[in-house]
Chains A and B, each alone.
Chain A
Amino acid sequence: MNGRGPFGRLDWISVILYALLVFIGWINIYSTSIGETSTSIFDFSTLYGKQTFFIGLAALGIIFVLFVESQFFERFASIFYIVSIVLLLGLFVFGKTIAGATSWYDLGFFNLQPSELAKVATSLALAKFLSDIQTDIRTGKHQMYALIIILLPAILILPQPDPGSSLIYFSLFFVLFREGFPIYYLGILIFAVVIFATTLMFGTVWVSIGLIILTLLIYTFKRASVKIPILPVLGVIMVSILFSLSVNFVFENVFEQRHRDRFALWLSLEKDEDKLDEIRKTIGYNTYQSEKAIESGGFTGKGFLEGTRTKGDFVPEQHTDYIFSSVGEEWGFMGTASVILLFSLFFLRLIYIAERQKSDFSRMYGYGVISILVFHYFINIGMVIGLLPTIGVPLPFFSYGGSGLIFFTMLLFIFLKLDSNRLKDGI
């Protein structure tokens, strides 16, 4: 192995972690979908049988990616992007509706979800744009171009409706941050989210009081040598209070009841036990059931194929978005913690790989891949364990589904392919 074959300098650690995740995912899909009669794992009438088939397709995808010339992805990034935008637009005319969302093309044997393809294409396109010698992310104009590249597919996906996938594109901001986009934008965003949530929970008055107390504390305990001009601070407080007021207005007048219910559940806003129960049974049913299933696993779990709630199909969509609850029930805390650890190691490894790239394009694309994967992972598991409101995104490599698995795999392996070629890059 000295870098000449397609499997040359492939990062085997990442590949093994990837394979482990896919394998554990399959095990849990098997558990959620096994019937009374055990059949072959290749039985295509079962979900796990289909997933086996998808894993096969993904393997073919890997081989395809590895045999393609590295430069191909950089060179054709714009084309991919345009194609996927066209495909997204085409959904408005030819789209197939599954579970209320017009997100698929019916290819007969297979339903293609172009939003998955678009994630790969957008990452490539963004990397290509940012790595262009003429691009300077510190200028407003180029920041705007970058935003357009990211937000265009997001906007097209939103009305499908698929807010979850749409939200994923915001993860690409991490690429921008890495490349010099001011980090305090992120700070402002987090600050806004905190104000939003606390306003819903405690009301504008308490948020204002809290802000003022916080400011006074900072002034009290700061080092005497540090000087903080008072006017901008007052400005921040004023803007925050205005924002807080607008939150209430938006929540009551712009949001629909189902949105309000989701937040009510997430932030424990509803104190009336009866109404809470009602929300649990309707909009919060999935989360409630999945939390219960995870909780019932305890430390050691109930054992493989022994999850009563999993077997009883109590958690809806358990093989797709809620697959992690099956891990929680059958493998317990040991299982869930291991999966979290595995994902974390996987991501850290990928970040490490991204940072060692000599080519800007490869690094930026790598960051795009990692951001997308982390965002999926964060939103999905956060939802399943009841930390985040219900947003339907799959858990990468875990959840059942062909488009998801294949495109996540392509996304990843294009990056690994670029990495394997890093010594030829650049200089």
Chain B
Amino acid sequence: MYCSVHFLAQKANKNIVFVVGIYGNQEFSLVMKKLLLSSVVVLIGFTFIGRLSYLQLFRFSPDQILDDPAIKKVYDYPERGYVYDRDGKLLVGNQPAYDVMVIPREVKPLDTLEFCGLLGIEKDQFLSKMEKARIYSPRLPSVLVPQLSKEDYAKLQEKMRHFNGFYIQKRSLRYYNTKSAANVLGYISEVNEWDLKNNPYYVAGELKGRTGIEQQYEEILRGQKGVKHIQKDRFNRDIGPYKGGKLDTLPQQGKEIHITLDKTLQEYGEKLMHGKRGGIVAIEPKSGEILAMISGPTYDPALLVGRERSKNYSKLHYDTISKPTWDRSILAQQSPGSPFKTLNALVALQEGVINEDTKFRCYHGFYVGNTLRGCHCGGGIRDLNSGIYQSCNAYFAGVFRKIFDKYNTTDKGMDVWEKHMKSFGLGDYLGTDLPTGAPGRIPDVAYYDKWYGDGRWAASTIISNSIGQGEIAATPLQLANMTAAIANRGYFYTPHIIKSIGNNGKIDPKYTEPNYTTIDRKHFDPIIEGMANVYNYGTARWVKIPDIDIAGKTGTVENFIRVDGERMQLTDHSVFVAFAPVENPQIALAVYIENGYYGSRYAGHIASLLIEKYIKGEITRTDLEKRMLEKTLEHEYAKPYSGEPFKINEYEW
């Protein structure tokens, strides 16, 4: 059989020889035989070198230390920076918390009952947690009981050495020295997948500022963590520092920051907001610093720290009716109401279409075409001053028309009006150093062209804007900023919350440069006079504070909601903007109380209390203060959800 195979093979061999056509003689065959093994060795050598070049030269990347399973990074976290108010009062600090950790493999038999007693948990709970830890990993530490109180920690600490495999790990949690300003301060929470994907700094399990200044100034507050590279074996056991610690870094401490809030004013304002919804923003006009930023309802920031955190968070987050985590002071975009009249007057003065003596007649309202739109001012002839302090709708409707009449086309008039309004920081994000915000709305030509059609609208169509209703919308922050611009007679500083960072204190220069409005300084005086008279003779004469000259403007804003698809009107929003003192203003604020009815009723009172508190440091009108602290609007907020017919704008309160 072998012979025949050989014969066939030899025949085939001849053919192959024929094909190659170069060998066939005996000598060459011998050389081939001698060279065969050498060629094989050389060939193998080249193949190996080729493959090794591919692996070690082509595929090698110096970054692979990052995913080297043999190197574990251990982080050393610096303490998060403290937060102080404008006067150096502590707002946010840190507190230690203690986690009881377990490494299941190292646990030795123990007195379970005693241990559970010390930890304050049930035996079943203990056993199930131990089982969970074991399933996660017998070799790695798991949290057995998170965030023990200081008292429990003290008790446990002495006995801990009797329990093998357990140890206590200290963590740092936020400590709040106030029950206020939750939305401004924000909270921190564990990083999520999105953070991990988008910021290589973070590692799973780390904490990150989530809202408010914790988010905005995250990098300053958190500092820079230190890292140690630890060499591991395949069982994940430490076997010493990697490269003797050459790549390790030290942590950099987080810096403390001072914010512009006035702790006293903030806390007082939140007390006054008790039972009311809305937003209050107070600004120091000469610097743009935000003195208070209040949203009602609010919550105690300490709720979002510690063991109950996630439970509390769900409760707050899913309260979709009163929305405590929604910062109304910067997010609620609503019609500004009558305070906006002052801007319309300023634009008209700047455009030269009115002067202080320009008069309009109020027919207890004004006519648009043949329909009469109402006014509460009492009727009669109004000039600029009384138009403002009596908040006459007819007067400002007239002013608004005059602005548009100056120009040949409505579009041109609209453009001019829009430009003036936007110079007050309305209709766009203000650029504050807060992570959230809302642009509000100043409608423009395009907006109305879309709404009504090109050329199918005129000043009279959009006349509601003259009195701060209509399509315009602004946040309380924008209203406060607008008031600050009036107080400064024509310019404002971008409102901001940061006062100083660390020791050198530098903040972004954009907060220290004034933004000028398009209105000349001289036009502000008559407006401010009118606003001052609001207190002297006008809509807020009942809330005058002795010894302090205030300029203010009330607003009463009609509003509607939809409940189950049914549109209904609710009690008017109570709005008030003010600054004081009139000469050398120290505080400008906007108070927006939802469904508070008259501007002076809630907003006006609260504004006057805040001004008194800020300027005098104490309240003389204790009766008023008591009334404001106790009054709530819960009954108003319950109305649309009661399912029964209800009255709005009730006289009794």
Measuring CB to CB, which residues of chain A are less than 8 angstroms from any residue of chain B?
A: 36, 139-141, 143-144, 174, 177-178, 180, 182-187, 218, 222-223, 226-229, 232, 291, 294-299, 306, 308-309, 311-314, 328, 332-333, 336-337, 340-341, 343-344, 347-348, 351, 355, 367, 370-371, 374, 377-378, 381-382, 385-387
Q: Does B638 contact A (CB under 8 A)?
A: no
Task: Using known A-B contacts A178-B34, A351-B37, determine if residue A296 contacts B68 with beta carbons closer than 8 Å.
Answer: yes
Give CA–CA (A367, B36) in the complex, Å: 11
Do B47 and A387 touch across chains, with their CB atoms under 8 A apart?
Answer: yes
A371, closest chain B residue (CB):
B37
Give CA–CA (A67, B36) in the complex, Å: 33
Do B52 and A140 touch across chains, with their CB atoms under 8 A apart?
Answer: no
Do A351 and B38 touch across chains, with their CB atoms under 8 A apart?
Answer: yes
Do A367 and B64 touch across chains, with their CB atoms under 8 A apart?
Answer: no
Q: Which A residues are CB-close (under 8 A) to B329?
A: none
Instruction: List B residues 370-390 near A (Cβ within 8 Å).
Output: none
A294 to chain B, nearest CB (A): 5
Q: Which B residues are CB-close (under 8 A) to A382?
A: 48
Do B51 and A296 touch across chains, with their CB atoms under 8 A apart?
Answer: no
Give CA–CA (A178, B33) in the complex, Å: 5
Known: A140-B5, A174-B40, A182-B9. 15 other contacts (CB 8 A): A183-B32, A218-B19, A222-B19, A223-B21, A226-B19, A228-B15, A232-B11, A296-B68, A299-B56, A308-B242, A309-B70, A312-B69, A312-B239, A314-B234, A374-B41
Give CA–CA (A291, B53) in the complex, Å: 12
25 intermolecular pairs with C-beta atoms under 8 Å apart: A36-B239, A139-B3, A143-B2, A143-B6, A178-B34, A178-B37, A182-B10, A184-B12, A187-B16, A223-B21, A298-B57, A298-B62, A306-B243, A308-B70, A308-B242, A311-B239, A312-B69, A312-B239, A313-B233, A341-B45, A351-B38, A355-B34, A367-B37, A386-B51, A387-B51
Task: Using known A-B contacts A182-B9, A184-B13, A341-B45, determine if residue A228 contacts B60 with beta carbons closer than 8 Å.
Answer: no
Do B231 and A337 touch across chains, with their CB atoms under 8 A apart?
Answer: no
Q: Which B residues are CB-close (under 8 A) to A183?
A: 32-33, 36
Q: Which B residues are CB-close (under 8 A) to A227?
A: 18
Contact-residue bracket for chain B: 35 or more
Q: Does B44 contact A (CB under 8 A)?
A: yes
Q: Which B residues are CB-close (under 8 A) to A337?
A: 49, 52
Measuring CB to CB, which residues of chain B are less than 8 angstroms from any residue of chain A?
A: 1-3, 5-6, 9-13, 15-16, 18-19, 21, 32-34, 36-38, 40-42, 44-45, 47-49, 51-53, 55-57, 59-60, 62, 64, 68-71, 231-234, 239-240, 242-243
Q: Which B residues are CB-close (under 8 A) to A313?
A: 233-234
Q: Which A residues are CB-close (under 8 A) to B37?
A: 174, 178, 347, 351, 367, 370-371, 374
Give CA–CA (A377, B48) in the complex, Å: 11
A427 to chain B, nearest CB (A): 20
Give CA–CA (A341, B48) in the complex, Å: 10
Give CA–CA (A80, B11) in the complex, Å: 39
Q: Which B residues are CB-close (under 8 A) to A144?
A: 2
Q: Which A residues are CB-close (under 8 A) to B57?
A: 298-299, 333
Do A141 and B49 touch across chains, with their CB atoms under 8 A apart?
Answer: no
Do B21 and A226 touch across chains, with their CB atoms under 8 A apart?
Answer: yes
Give CA–CA (A387, B44) in the complex, Å: 11
Give CA–CA (A344, B41) in the complex, Å: 6
Q: Which B residues are CB-close (under 8 A) to A298?
A: 56-57, 60, 62
Q: Which A residues are CB-close (under 8 A) to B62?
A: 298
